[in-house]
Every structure is written in structure tokens, then in C-alpha cells.
Amino acid sequence: MALAACHRLHAIEEAAGSIGPWEITSLTTLAQIYGPENFGLSFELFPPKTEAGIKSLFRHADRLVDFQPAYMTCTYGAGGSTQNRTLEIISGVHKKYNLSVATHLTCVGSTAEQLRDYVQRAWELGVEFVVALRGDPPQGETKFQVTSGGFAYANELVEFIRSEFPEMGIVVGGYPETHQEAVSPEADLDNLKRKVDAGADVIITQLFYDNAEFFDFRERALQLGVGVPIVPGLLPVTNGAQIQRIAALCGAKLPPQFVGDLQKHDGDPHGQFEVGVEFAARQTESLLASAVPGVHFYVLNKSEATERVLRAVPLPK
């Protein structure tokens, strides 16, 4: 093991307790998590690059588990660059909190064989769910390139995981405001249905700030026969500049009133944080009123904003 990897693992062990393969006891399924009697709260983390980042992640996760999430997920870097870190973090979370976890996984730069190995390793570490994605082109490239012996679209990855790991829970991404490369909203929705038909259990959406976009997307998906739970993905805004950047990257519209409120607090990080939390609380409240089966928070390894939202808006049990 390279020295850097060794230090990283040590930092995770310190933060999460010792790590190693352990027996999978009782499995939780995504169908149970989003079943009629339950509400699926989930949090998304990303693998930090430094030991300090790992310690900070677990400090924030300690606070987030108080809200009793059904599971946490960890993203997978472009080109598979974070494979080991993703697995280390998410298995550390599983071990420390005895919580169900999902690894994100993309098709970028991997053959089917490599993807199988990764899922096998994840399964052995107690990871019960995969967020199965095509992935974005690596930095500096504009077009997704299919790896020889790999997959071109997420529906192919879903089909592969479903056939190789029948017990693995599978989540896929959905785009209320349409994926940026899609030829049309209709085609994008057809492709979403392909992923569900291939075996996806749940759809988690890209972040959005206009609930009307989500409601319309959900309605259109239902009309097309998409029968799995559709879970809104939410990123509470904590900083005006950051959100302009993220929204531009994934094409999410920002309501003008919200942008105006953030601008009123230009140069005042505390004020912008408060505006962001208030907006996210109202957004969550309106989604809950429309009977969503769960909510997924892109917490970006920080707990404060999400904690504030969840204290302001109690979730169904």
C-alpha cells in the first residue's frame, strides 16, 4: 500500500474505529426504506483528499446521524480517481454508525470486469447499495468516451449490476431540468425509464431550486410508467458564489427572488447562510407536502445547513 493510502486509512480508522471485512447481518432494502410506512432520508458525502478532511467529515457525520438517516452515500470521482477513497469512506461510515451505505459508481475509464471487481469489493465491505451512473467526461474533455469493454450509458451498468449482484440495491440519477446532453426532455425521460426497466430501484434527482420543475418531472415520469420512488436531491445554499457555480455546472435554474435575497447579503457570509437555510427549509416543506418518499441532501461533508433545515422542518417518521 502506498504511504499516502496508508496514512489515509489510519485517519479513517482513527475516526471510525478499526476497519476490515465483516459479516453482513440483516440487509435493508431500498424498497423497505422508501416503503409506504417509511420515509427515506439520505445524505451524500464525498471522499476528502486529506487526513484533516477525513476527520472533519466524521465530525459532521456524527451530527448528521442524529437525524436517523436511512443511509449515506459517497461519490465516485471522475475517471474512477477516488475508487479506494470512496470505498474507505463509505465502509468507515457503515462500520462506525452501523448504517446502510451506498457507493456511487460511474462507467468512466473502467471495463465491465473492473466494475464487477469494484462492486464485489464493496459488497464484501457491507455496502448494500450502488448509485449507478454513466459519469461525466474527465476534466479537460468535453465528450464522454466509452472505455473498450465498458459501458456507454448508465442503463447498461444497471443491467450489469442487476444480473451480477441480484441483491444489490440500485439507485440512478434523474434530471428534473433535463440532462445537459439530452437531445430533448422526452428522450431524457425515455432514457430514465430504460434505467428503471434495467433494474433500478430508486431515482435520486439532480439538485434543483424550483419545485415546479420537480413536480412536472415526476408527473411526466409517472405518465411514462416509471413506477419506482423518485427522491428529490437538495443542496442547501450556504454561499451565493458557490451556488452560482454549481447551478451553472448542472444547469439548475435559480429563482430570481432567491438570487436577489442572496445578493442583498453580498460580502456577508452569515447573512447568505441564513437566506440559504430559510430557502432550503421552505423548499423541503413544500416537497414534503407533496408526499415525496424521501429526501437526499448533498451535504458536501458539512452538517450545519442540513441540520438547521431538518430542525426547522420535521420529517415524517
How distant is the alpha carbon of residue 61 from its chain centre?
15
- DSSP code of residue 27: P
Long-range contacts of the stretch 183-188 (C-beta < 8 A, 24+): 185/220
Round to whole Å and give the CA distance between 7 and 157.
32
Answer for which of 11, 30, 61, 154 binds ligand FAD (CB under 6 A) is 154
Nearest to residue 177, comparing CAs of 216, 143, 221, 142? Answer: 216
Q: How far is the CB of 86 from ligand FAD (least distance, A)?
A: 8
When asked if residue 104 is in the footprint of ligand FAD (CB under 6 A), the reply is yes
Residue 304 is among the residues annotated as catalytic for this protein: no
Helix (H, G, I), strand (E, B) or coil at 296: strand
Three cell numbers written together for 299: 451535504
Residue number with CB closer to ligand FAD (24 or 78): 78
The torsion of the CA quartet 63, 68, 70, 75, rounded to 10 degrees, works out to: -10
Contact region with ligand FAD (CB under 6 A), list: 64-72, 161-169, 179-187, 217-225: 179-187
Q: Which stretch binds ligand FAD (CB under 6 A): 12-20, 22-30, 51-59, 187-195?
A: 187-195
Nearest Cα to Cα of residue 196 among 231, 217, 221, 179 = 221
Q: How far is the CB of 92 from ligand FAD (least distance, A)?
A: 17
Interface of this chain with ligand FAD, residues 194 to 223, rule: CB under 6 A: 194-195, 204, 206
Stretch that binds ligand FAD, among 116-124, 153-161, 238-246, 283-291 (CB under 6 A): 153-161
Residue 293 lies near ligand FAD (rule: CB under 6 A): no
Q: Which is nearer to ligand FAD, 77 or 240 (CB)?
A: 77
Which residues have a Cβ under 8 Å from the Cβ of 44 and sit 6 or more positions away? 72, 73, 74, 75, 233, 296, 297, 298, 299
Q: Is there binding between residue 45 and ligand FAD (CB under 6 A)? A: no
In the complex, residue closest to ligand FAD by CB: 173
E strands present in the chain: 40-45, 71-74, 100-106, 129-133, 169-174, 202-207, 230-234, 294-298
* 294 near ligand FAD (CB under 6 A): no
> Any contact of residue 91 with ligand FAD (CB under 6 A)?
no
Give the footprint of ligand FAD on this chain (CB under 6 A). 75-76, 78, 104, 106, 131, 133-136, 153-155, 173, 179, 181-182, 187-188, 191, 194-195, 204, 206, 233
